[in-house]
Amino acid sequence: MTTEAPRLELTPTLGLSRVLTRGSVARRIVHATVAGMDVRLRYPDGTEVGGGGPGSPVLDVVRPGALYRRLEAHPKIGLGEAYMAGDWRAAPGTDLARALMPFAARMGRLVPRPLLSMRAVVDRAIPRWQRNTLEGSRSNISAHYDLSNDLFAAFLDPSMSYSSAIFDPARPLADQDLHEAQVRKVESVLDAASVREGSRVLEIGTGWGELAIRAARRGATVVSVTLSAEQRALAMERIAAAGVADRVEVLLQDYREVTGRFDAVVSVEMIEAVGEEYWGTYFQKIDDVLAPGGAVAIQAILMEHHRLLATRGSFGWIQKYIFPGGLIPSMQAIHEVTRDATSLRVERVHAFGTDYAETLRRWRETFDNRWPEIRTLGFDETFRRMWEFYLAYCEAGFATHYLDVAQIRLARKEAR
Q: Is the pLDDT of residue 118 over 60?
A: no
Residues 6+ apart with CB under 8 A from 149: 1, 208, 230, 231, 233, 234
Would 9 be classed as within a structural domain? Answer: no
- Output the pLDDT for position 109: 56
Q: Is the pLDDT of residue 22 over 50?
A: yes
Segment 378-388 mean pLDDT: 97
Q: Are residues 51 and 179 in the same domain?
A: no
Would 4 be classed as within a structural domain? Answer: no
- Output the pLDDT for position 414: 62
Domain edge (last residue) among 107, 122, 137: 122
- Output the pLDDT for position 311: 85
- The model carries a pTM of 0.91
- Output the pLDDT for position 310: 87
Work out the pLDDT band at 2, boundaries 50, 70, 90. very low
- Output the pLDDT for position 20: 47
Segment 328-333 mean pLDDT: 98
Residues 6+ apart with CB under 8 A from 35: 49, 50, 51
**Residue-averaged pLDDT of the chain:** 91
Structure letter (DSSP) for residue 13? -
- Output the pLDDT for position 17: 44
Q: Encode pLDDT of 55-79 as tens digits.
A: 999 999 999 999 999 998 888 899 9
Q: Are residues 82 and 137 in the same domain?
A: no
Highest mean pLDDT among 4-13, 114-123, 181-190: 181-190
Domain edge (last residue) among 122, 147, 164: 122
Instruction: Tell me whether residue 375 is exposed, middle or buried, using C-beta atoms within 10 angstroms of its C-beta: 0 to 12, 13 to 18, 19 or more.
Output: middle
Domain of 246, CATH number, reads: 3.40.50.150
- Output the pLDDT for position 21: 62
Work out the pLDDT band at 153, boundaries 50, 70, 90. very high
Per the structure, the complete domain to which residue 225 belongs is given by: 129-412
- Output the pLDDT for position 48: 97
- Report in angstroms the alpha-carbon separations of 139 from 2, 253, 325, 381: 20, 13, 9, 24
Would 8 be classed as within a structural domain? Answer: no
Q: Encode pLDDT of 200-213 as tens digits.
A: 999 999 999 999 99
Work out the pLDDT band at 115, boundaries 50, 70, 90. very low
For residue 301, the SS3 value is strand
Domain edge (last residue) among 122, 151, 170: 122
Q: Is the pLDDT of residue 401 over 90?
A: yes
Tell me, rounded to whole angstroms, the distance of Cα 279 from its chain centroid.
17
- Output the pLDDT for position 16: 42
Work out the pLDDT band at 379, boundaries 50, 70, 90. very high
Give dist(CA 336, CA 280) in Å, integer: 10
Q: Are residues 65 and 183 in the same domain?
A: no
Q: Rounded to the nearest 5 degrees, what angle is found at the Cα of 250, between the Cα atoms of 246 and 256? A: 135
Torsion of CA 35, 119, 320, 140, to 10 degrees: 140
- Determine the residue type at 225: V
Q: Are residues 115 and 233 in the same domain?
A: no
- Output the pLDDT for position 4: 45
- Determine the residue type at 58: V
Q: Encode pLDDT of 273-317 as tens digits.
A: 999 999 999 999 999 999 999 999 999 999 999 999 988 878 889
Torsion of CA 176, 181, 183, 185, to 10 degrees: 160
Structurally, the chain folds into a number of domains equal to 2
For residue 165, the SS3 value is coil
- Output the pLDDT for position 313: 78
Percent of the chain clearing pLDDT 70 (strictly above): 89
Q: Are residues 143 and 67 in the same domain?
A: no
Segment 250-272 mean pLDDT: 97
Query: Long-range contacts: 195-199, Cβ < 8 Å, 24+?
Result: 195/220, 195/263, 195/264, 195/266, 196/220, 199/263, 199/264
- Output the pLDDT for position 15: 43
Please check whether residue 378 is in contact with residue 318, taking contact to mean a CB–CB distance below 8 angstroms.
Answer: no
